[in-house]
Structures are given as C-alpha cells and as structure tokens.
Structure 1
Amino acid sequence: MSSARGQVMQVVEFYSGIGGMHYAIQESNINAKILAAIDINTVANNVYRHNFGNTPVWQREIGKISLKELQELNGDLYTMSPPCQPFTRLGKKADVNDARTSSFLHVIDLLIKMENPPKYILLENVKGFETSAARNALISALKQRNYSYQEFLLTPLQFGIPNSRLRYYIICTRDANLSFPTTEEVMMELPNFGQVSKVRCVSDFMENLTNHSIQSYFLPQSTIERFLKVLDVVKPDSQRSCCFTKSYFHYAEGTGSVLQITNPILDSNLNLKINDTSNDDNQLLQHLKLRYFTPREVANIHCFPVHFNFPENATKKQCYRLLGNSLNVHVASELLKLLIT
C-alpha cells in the first residue's frame, strides 16, 4: 500500500456527497487517486460528476457493497461522512436502531473481515456521534484491526473561518502510531497546530451580487416579523456564523445565520424596538435588508474552492440541502495532513 507522500495514495470515498473530502485531499497536497466515490444520492452524484468528471462515481447503496468488491479496490485511505441524522436531536438519536445507520455498520463489518484493510481512515460526523453505539462499534473494529486513532471535536472558528459548525472527526492509521501522543479523550484542538491569530470576517466569503441577483435571497417581510427574535443575524464585519443545515433557505428558524446589509445607524434603534410590533417598527424592519447567504457563499464558508460549482439544473433548495450535508474542506484537509505525514 502507498503511504508516503511521494507515492500515489489510493482513496475510496464513502458517502462522497458533493466532493468535500475530494477537495480536502487536493488542499492537503496528498498525491492521491480516487478509486471510487460512492453515494446513493443521485443529485449529489450529479454535482460530484460535474466537478470531478474523471472520477469513478458509484451510484450504489453502500450497505450492499460486497467484501470482494472492496478488497478488489485495495484502497489505502477510506474517507467517510455517514448519515448524521441518527445522532441528532431531530433524528431522535435512534443511533444503531435507525435504518440510516445500517450502511455504516456494514462498512464496519467489512473492515473487520477484510484481508487488507486500508492504512488510513478519516471519518466526519455530527457532535453526538462520540457518545453513540455506532461509534463504539467503530472503535471496537479499529482495535481488532490494530489501528491507532484519535477523536476530535473541532469547529472552523479554530481555523480562522467565521462559522461554528462543530463536528466530530476521527483519524486512524493501521499497524503504526500517529505522529503525536494520542489519548482516549476526545481532543478539542489539533495538536501542534498553533493559535489562529484572527478569525476572518464574513465579508471575505461574500459574493459581489448585483441588485437584481440579490433580490431572491431577501427574507420576506412576513418571515422577518414572525422570526426576528430567533433569527441569528450577522453582518459583513461579523467574525462568526451559525451552522448551515440542509433546511436553510426553506426554513428560517435554527437553520443557519442570515445576513444584515443595512445602514449601521439603524442598529441601535432596532435593538430598542425588536420586541415591539407596531407599524412604525415594521417600517423600521423593512430597512434591515436581511438576506440568506447564497449557495456560493455557504460553499465559500465551507472552504470549497472557487472553481466548485453546481450544474445549471440544480435548484436552490437542492444546493442548500447538499451543502448542509457536506463538511468544511479546510478542517478536513488539516486532519489529513496530520494523519498522513
């Protein structure tokens, strides 16, 4: 198997989505070849093919991949972002009793049975996975196959990116030790990474939109009046934003930050009047200019490269859903650098 930086790393992407892990591999400068990008989501696969036309995409149910198929691929590195809903409050935290976990449990079972398991594994999921039975099953398999591993809970804010998308990660290497002292505790920062001097402003990730193109992203007045108290409002000079979920743009509450582009002199008046619902206040709210982040801006915050784009036939709703199910490319790339040294 190839493990040195000078050799070609053979990669299998499970739950490949729109290619976040592929871009992370590119950003990490690992010399790699993607043997297969595997996902059941037709729309995600179309986006993946649109951006990585030469990569084999398997439109497959991962739970039906055979041991023989996986062994024939003979991958050095497995990357994966299994479905996160079984480990969330909205998903009722059904964990291994959720049917959406079955494909991941199948991958774990194959890992145990393989003659030549991969040298490296990188997995990403939501906070909450670290206390799950699915995680325990993975750890048991890793120990059986002689992997060294380290778990993390990391947010892009730690890397200077204005987004609080806290996620679980685990990096694993087989028949060797990782390049730093490991612990059974979940690490909350990367070892030897250093302190980021400053978090960048939201404005660094914004598009230069025309007045015409921006119109469809403004929140309707009725939405502002109904949800203003619970909206997470940020400005171009803000150094944070909330996690963007797959329901962003479709639902306003709890799905991600919205952007205020208005005259700063209104801010003090707004703070005084937010709890009032008189006509005068509604007049004031019209000047807030609250809009959703565009799909391109969400992709920017997730650190997708500028050449990443969606096919022309992709709807806004599809773009937001796919981005909400994706990951932060830069955070994943830093973990890959740490894993493969």
Structure 2
Amino acid sequence: MIKAVELYCGIGGFSKACEDYEIDVTYAYDQNDAAIATYNTNFTHKAEKFNLEKFDANYLDALHVNFLWMSPPCQPYTKKGVQKDLADNRSDSFKNILNAICTCKNPPLHVALENVEGFKNSQARDLLVSTLEKVGYNITETLLCPSELGIPNRRMRYYLCASLKPLKEIKRSFTCKELSQYIKEPDEPYLIPKDILEKFRDGFRIIEATNKDAYTTCFTSSYSKSWMHSGAYLTCKDNVRLFEPNEIASLMGFGDNFIFPKTITKRQSYKLIGNSLSVYAVKTILSQFTLAH
C-alpha cells in the first residue's frame, strides 16, 4: 500500500480520488479551520492544522511516505490576481516544500501537483520542474478539464506528475454524465435577487438541469459573493437560483454523501468547494503512476 501525504489538503479532493487506488493517505495538512473541519467530517483519517512554511527535509523524512500530493495556493497565478508568482508571499511554503524534496534523505517515490491553468507558464512551474529533475524524477505535465471526461463542468487545471519509476500513459475514461444527475432541488433555494437578475442577466450562464447538453462553468471561491464570472446558475420555476454547495461537490466528484459540517456557513462552503479540485480529474491523473511496490 502506498502511503501518502496531502499538502494544502482543503476538503480532501486527493483523498477522495485515492479511494479508487491503493493509496493510504496517512497525513493531511492545511491552515484553514473550516477546510479541516469539513475534511475531518468526511474521512476517517484526520487532517491537521500545520504551517507548511515549517515543512523541511527532516519533517518529510520522518513521515515515511511514498507519495506527496500538493495543491498550493493558486492566487499568485490566477488571471484575476496580481500574478506576482514566486514573489507572492503565498508561494513561500511551496518553495519550502520543494527545498525539502530536494534535500531530504529519502525523496518520496511519487510527487504530484494541481493548480490553475496559469501555473503552466509561471516561474513557480519552472522551479518545480528543475527541482524535480535534479532529484531524478520522471515528469509529465497535463492540462485537463472534467468536460474532457464527460462531466458537465468546465474546470481546466494544470497537473504535474513526477515519479522515480516510469510514468504510464494517461487513461482518460469518458463517463458522459448529465447535469440532472447532480441536482437535488433544495427546500429553500438560494435565489438571485430580482434587481441583480435584471441588471446582469445577459452576463450570467443560466441553465436548465433537464437540458441534456447543459454544462456548468468553473465555480470559483467567490461564488455567492461575486455575481459575475464565478459560476453558473439554475432555472428554478419562475426564478433563477444558485447551485447548492453539495450539488457542486457532487458535480466535482465528491459524491452524494459528502457533507459540510453545521459549524460552517453556506458562504464558507462555497469558498471551500471553489478552492477545491475535480475528483474525476485527479483519478485520471493518478492513472499514470505505478503504485505497486
């Protein structure tokens, strides 16, 4: 069994994907209390609060893991951000982790990373690749959207796989699921206010769940806070509503049984799922690894 550590674990997208593989996530770290509470509500292994700027070679060696997964902060590389790249202090922990991988006594057998599409042209990507090449890893880089797998959700992301073993060709399985499979009409739908709808309707992506060709745009962490360019909306009788957090979670592959704890607000739930990743895509990415010892 491959033992893994999930860095910047969020609500556990990597852990959920690992359920289809012989990967045992033994450690998970984040700094967001709401994310940790959500993670620990849904998984038997527990996430811990830890400042990854303190993550060093000795710490990595002490974990005795075969697989290191990380989804570092995307803000330094997003189109909406200031794009300060490695100069952004939110990249500090990422640089620290790369140093740990490069200087530890026993580098993990496998390393993988997920980030926004803009990461592919960043200085951070160049540092990542050069660091892993120094250690001797085989590397593949992939841009993958869930819509390429038959999922009605557009969320293009950059993925890097690195292994001290040969990497296999990616296996893209096309599932062709319809949006209606993910929709559960809530008792109290979150409706868009009439004045907002009149003002921005032409800029909204409003879809019907029963439309077999319907797809959602990328849900961001600002969904429910920013009306424009943060995700799609659903028709609801004579109104238009937001997707529920659990509908988005299901659409991203977390399953119908994934729950957000009652201790966090709906706004926090939207932010957490907007910062998460497509489990469907991660499962596809993991198909490249030789996981048997």
Question: What TM-score do the two structures reach when normalised by structure 2?
Answer: 0.94
| 2:52 pairs with one of 38, 43, 62 | 62
| 1:221 pairs with one of 178, 194, 208 | 194
Q: Any stretches of 5+ residues in structure 1 without a counterpart?
A: 1-7, 181-189, 263-286
Report if the CA contact (8 A) 1:199-1:239 is conserved: no
| 1:12 pairs with one of 5, 9, 12 | 5
Residue 108 of structure 1: how far off its partner (Å): 0.5
Q: Which residue of 2 aligns with 1:169?
A: 159
**Does 1:111 pair with 2:105?**
no
Q: Which residue of 1 aligns with 2:113?
A: 123
Which letter does structure 2 place at the counterpart of 1:146?
Answer: G
1:33-68 Cα distance to aligned partner (Å, 9 max, x none): 22210111111111111112x424221110112321
1:176-213 Cα distance to aligned partner (Å, 9 max, x none): 22123xxxxxxxxx4x536x3x7432111101433xx2
Report if the CA contact (8 A) 1:9-1:33 is conserved: yes
Q: Secondary structure at the match of 1:225?
A: helix
> d(CA) in 2 for partners of 1:38 and 1:129?
22
Q: Secondary structure at the match of 2:148?
A: helix
Report if the CA contact (8 A) 1:19-1:48 is conserved: yes
| 1:207 pairs with one of 184, 202, 206 | 184
| 1:146 pairs with one of 120, 136, 144 | 136
1:206-258 Cα distance to aligned partner (Å, 9 max, x none): 01433xx22xx111101101111111111111431100000101121010001
Q: Which residue of 1 aligns with 2:150?
A: 160
Q: Which residue of 2 aligns with 1:88?
A: 78
Percent identical residues = 32
Mapping 1:1-341, distance limit 5 Å: 8-26=1-19, 28=20, 30-52=21-43, 54-174=44-164, 176-180=165-169, 190=170, 192-193=171-172, 196=174, 199-210=176-187, 213-214=188-189, 217-236=190-209, 237=211, 238-262=213-237, 287=238, 289-340=239-290
Which letter does structure 2 place at the counterpart of 1:310?
Answer: F
> d(CA) in 2 for partners of 1:179 and 1:33?
21
Which letter does structure 2 place at the counterpart of 1:25?
Answer: C
Aligned length: 289
C-alpha RMSD of matched pairs (Å): 1.5
> d(CA) in 2 for partners of 1:232 and 1:135?
32
Q: Secondary structure at the match of 2:202?
A: coil
Q: Secondary structure at the match of 1:219?
A: coil
Highest CA radius of gyration, 1 or 2? 1
Question: What TM-score do the two structures reach when normalised by structure 1?
Answer: 0.82
